[in-house]
Structure 1
Amino acid sequence: MPAAALSIAPIADADIAAVVALWQACGLTRPWNDPAADIALARRGPNATVLIGRDGEAIVATAMVGHDGHRGWVYYVAVDPDRRAQGHGRAMMNAAEAWLRGAGIAKLQLLVRRENAKAGAFYQSLGYAEAETIVFAKWLDGREPTP
């Protein structure tokens, strides 16, 4: 089914369990991040949202998008593994970009794990380029840094 069949809208309360299940099926969750808490945080204010793509009633794609007033970020870009290569990821990224443009944000950044060459190739196919920056991280709750 073509990406045009996707209906894209912000997440609703009833969608949370299905979205978390999709993220788990796509290998996007990590033990140190509670995906339901990430959704709640994104929905807390006007600077972020979780967009879901439906094919009929089924949630088949997502993108969490937000901004800090200067730069936009996207996380949890997911497409049901059984529905990949149908343009759904591109449709979700287009929706995330449109959401940021609507908020007046001109730059979108995202993080890709180095070992995820397929994701890197996908974003390059959409016109994204690897930035010449280094990301530093610190856990504010006392945990040791993770790679």
Structure 2
Amino acid sequence: MKIRSFSPADTDAVIELWAEAGLVRPWNDPRKDIERKLTVQPELFLVGETDARIVATAMVGYDGHRVWVNYLAVALDARGLDHGRQLMNEAERLLLELGCPKINMQIRSDNVEVRAFYERLGYTQDAAVSYGKRLIAD
């Protein structure tokens, strides 16, 4: 798998992958999420390609204190091929270069498969409660 930064030409393929992976929600417009990401650290919006097909994504954001990883997705027919691990390893490498001390992520509590994936990568559950407030309705 080749890992590179997202290009606007990837938009439809990325949204299709996110839908296949069950990441698209009615309250988050994926096109707007992509447009917003392209205004802040677009180089940290990663895609993984095999045979000119996007098979993995990770949208990474560093605020100078912590990182959030969103939209980590791997195509259903490409799972088990280590693409998710490769993408996270590349994200961690880039973040270390930036001096980032910690990565945060939100995982739906009932998503046992994804929780196990991150635990295999060395991530642990923080003793924190996640809060949010929507400022712009999509």
Q: Tell whether the structures are fold-level matches, with TM greater than 0.5.
A: yes
- The one-letter amino acid paired with 1:87 is D
User: How many pairs are equivalent?
Assistant: 138
- Using the alignment, how far apart are the partners of 1:126 and 1:22 within structure 2? 22
Q: Aligned pair 1:38/2:33, yes or no?
A: yes
- Using the alignment, how far apart are the partners of 1:30 and 1:130 within structure 2? 23
Q: Where in structure 2 are there 5+ consecutive unaligned residues?
A: none
Deviation (angstroms), 1:48 = 6.3
Q: Sequence identity of aligned pairs in percent?
A: 42
Q: Where in structure 1 are there 5+ consecutive unaligned residues?
A: 1-5, 143-147
Q: Is the 8 A contact 1:53 1:92 kept in 2?
A: yes
- Partner of 1:60: helix, strand, or coil? strand
- The one-letter amino acid paired with 1:54 is E
- Using the alignment, how far apart are the partners of 1:16 and 1:123 within structure 2? 26
Q: Is the 8 A contact 2:6 2:43 kept in 1?
A: no
- Partner of 2:107: helix, strand, or coil? coil
- Using the alignment, how far apart are the partners of 2:134 and 2:49 within structure 1? 35
What's the C-alpha RMSD, in Å, of the aligned pairs?
Answer: 1.6
Q: Aligned pair 1:117/2:112, yes or no?
A: yes
Q: 2:24 aligned to 19, 25, 29, which one?
A: 29
* Number of the residue aligned with 2:75: 80
- Partner of 1:22: helix, strand, or coil? helix
- The one-letter amino acid paired with 2:7 is A
* Number of the residue aligned with 1:99: 94
- Partner of 1:32: helix, strand, or coil? coil
Deviation (angstroms), 1:49 = 2.9
Between Structure 1 and Structure 2, whose CA radius of gyration is higher? 1
Q: Is the 8 A contact 1:42 1:48 kept in 2?
A: no
Question: Within 5 A, what are the aligned runs for 1:3-18?
Answer: 6-18=1-13
- Using the alignment, how far apart are the partners of 2:55 and 2:89 within structure 1? 15
Q: Using structure 1 for the length normalisation, give the TM-score.
A: 0.88
Question: Within 5 A, what are the aligned runs for 1:54-69?
Answer: 54-69=49-64
Q: Is the 8 A contact 2:15 2:30 kept in 1?
A: yes
Q: Aligned pair 1:49/2:44, yes or no?
A: yes
* Number of the residue aligned with 1:145: none
Deviations 1:36-69 (A, max 9, x none): 1111111102376310000120100010001111
